[in-house]
């Protein structure tokens, strides 16, 4: 009776760890793309005043995530060099 409970707890912990790692990578990609857009790179960015903002989205839908897909989103901004005094 204890072993199935431990397996369930371990599975949920592993799913949470996977989601947090993917979320970290997604935020890192969004920050990098915002900096690239700020430097004039070819990245789709939205101008919000003096900022260039990038939104990245990823859906976790493989493995156990097929049961309940999880959508992760990261938003990052960098200073827009085209706007200034």
Q: What are the backbone angles phi and psi of residue 45, rounded to the nearest 5°? A: -135, 150
Q: What are the backbone angles phi and psi of residue 17, rounded to the nearest 5°? A: -65, -40
**Domain regions of the chain by residue span:** 2-79
pLDDT at 84: 61
Ordered mean pLDDT values, 10 residues apiece, the chain (85 residues): 90 93 97 94 91 96 90 96 71
pLDDT at 85: 59
In the beta sheet, which residues pair with residue 62?
none
State the Rg of the chain over Cα. Answer: 18
pLDDT at 64: 83
The verdict on pTM exceeding 0.95 is no
pLDDT at 47: 93
Read off the tokens for 58. Answer: 């990823």
pLDDT at 71: 97
CA distances from 43 to 29, 52, 69 (A): 12, 10, 27
């Amino acid at each position: 009776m204890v072993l199935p409970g431990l397996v369930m707890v371990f599975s949920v912990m592993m799913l949470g760890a996977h989601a947090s790692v993917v979320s970290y990578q997604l935020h890192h990609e969004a920050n990098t793309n915002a900096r690239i857009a700020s430097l004039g790179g070819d990245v789709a960015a939205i101008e919000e005043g003096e900022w260039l903002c990038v939104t990245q989205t990823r859906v976790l839908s493989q493995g156990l995530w097929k049961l309940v897909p999880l959508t992760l989103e990261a938003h990052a901004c960098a200073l827009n060099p085209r706007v200034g005094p």
